[in-house]
Amino acid sequence: MTATSATARAEAPARPPRRRIRTPHKRAIIALVAPFLVLFALFYALPVAYAVWESLLVVQRDGTFGPATEVFGGLQQYALVFQDQAFWGSVGRVLLFGVVQVPVMLGLALVFALLLDSPLVKGKRFFRLAYFVPYAVPGVIAAIMWGFLFSPNLSPFAALTKAVPFLGADLVLWSIANVVTWVYVGYNMLIIYSALLAVPQEIYEAARLDGAGQFRMAWSIKIPIVRPAILMTAVFSIIGTLQLLAEPQVFASFSSAVTSTYTPNMTIYATSSLPNYNLAAAFSVVLALATFILSFTFLKVTQRKGQDA
């Protein structure tokens, strides 16, 4: 991202601040960008601004059943957020989860995309469909299914599940990781695969003429070319990990090890159900900031000079 902004900055004159820079194709740009932007502003930006506003309010009451009024409370909600040990414990938990699960999942997705893109694999259409299908299964059903498969008594692999407590305190986080990986490997694989499809065949001509084998081509040509796609899936996987909600919630119904504040987003969900909108909004803002810092750091670390985003 910074490479393109660098070139953008290099093009526009730096000195006279008031000179109007003529943007070429201005009307076209507006026509292309505006529809998305307007709806985005309405359904994302506006609600976010509202949530931030809510997080600055505090409720005051009159008596045990007295009516409530919201008044400006500054950072009081945030003080509560920072004192909440369970919340920070859950943040640590999803970070641990992310550090392991995201590289594993994306590594697998990359390998499968490369295999699919190579002549080594026959029956590409079948595999594409097979890997896609887990994403098509609704989350509630997927979790019921896995709950059944992990169950000590009812699983068809009962010998294994009785011996290894997949739903116990030590392993349940990784059992959830397994479900998340199962759902999203195919999804990420297809993104990387589509990026590979966009590469014109001529690029490989020179490499083949040089005698490069599939592995060499994958390593030296394909991976660098789809780097932007990989980075993008990584960023969105990081965001998704920090916002983990659906899978742990269903696991909570059949595992004694999953509490109601197992992940940060579960805390937010529980708080907003109380309903304590103001505190839930504060939690959301803090979580969003943490996610932003993490994504931003990740992108900065993976930037290389001269790389298009």
Binders of other proteins among residues 109 to 148 (CB under 8 A) are 111-112, 115-116, 118-122, 125, 127-142, 145-148
- How many C-beta atoms surround the C-beta of residue 5 within 10 A? 10
Query: Residue 219 and residue 288: Cα distance in Å, rounded?
Result: 35
- Is 104 one of the binding residues for other proteins (CB under 8 A)? no
Question: How many Cβ atoms are within 10 Å of 64's Cβ, its own excluded?
Answer: 5
Q: Given the rule CB under 8 A, which of 89-97, 98-106, 271-279 is the region that contacts other proteins?
A: 271-279
Contact pick of 100, 160, 174, 208 for other proteins (by CB under 8 A)? 208
3-state secondary structure of 61: strand
Shortest distance (Å) from residue 99 CB to other proteins: 19
Q: How far is the CB of 247 from other proteins (least distance, A)?
A: 13
- 3-state class (DSSP) for residue 288: helix
* Residue whose entry in the numeric block shows the structure tokens 């910074």: 2
If binding is defined by CB under 8 A, does position 190 make contact with other proteins? yes
Residues 6+ apart with CB under 8 A from 149: 155, 156, 157, 161
Q: How many CB atoms lie within 10 A of CB 165?
A: 16
DSSP-based three-state secondary structure for 72: strand
User: Is 171 near other proteins (CB under 8 A)?
Assistant: no
Strand-pairing partners, residue 71, are: 58
What is the Cα 174 distance to its own chain's centre?
A: 17
Nearest approach in angstroms of CB 118 to other proteins is 7
Distance CA 238, CA 97 (A): 10
Find the binder of other proteins among 13, 15, 66, 72 (CB under 8 A): 66
Contact between 203 and other proteins by CB under 8 A: the answer reads: yes
Residues 287-306 that bind other proteins (CB under 8 A): 287-288, 291-292, 295, 306
The CA distance from 182 to 176, in Å, is: 10
151 is a contact residue toward other proteins (CB under 8 A): yes
80 is a site residue for other proteins (CB under 8 A): yes
User: Which position among 180, 196, 218, 234 is part of the footprint of other proteins (CB under 8 A)?
Assistant: 196
Task: Establish if 95 lies at the interface with other proteins (CB under 8 A).
Answer: no
H/E segment holding residue 265? helix 264-273
Least separation in angstroms between CB 82 and other proteins: 13
Between 111 and 164, name the residue whose CB sits nearer to other proteins: 111
Q: Does 255 bind other proteins (CB under 8 A)?
A: yes
Nearest-approach distance from CB 119 to other proteins, in angstroms: 5
Contact criterion met (CB below 8 Å) for 247 and 139 = yes
Q: Is 273 in the site for other proteins (CB under 8 A)?
A: yes
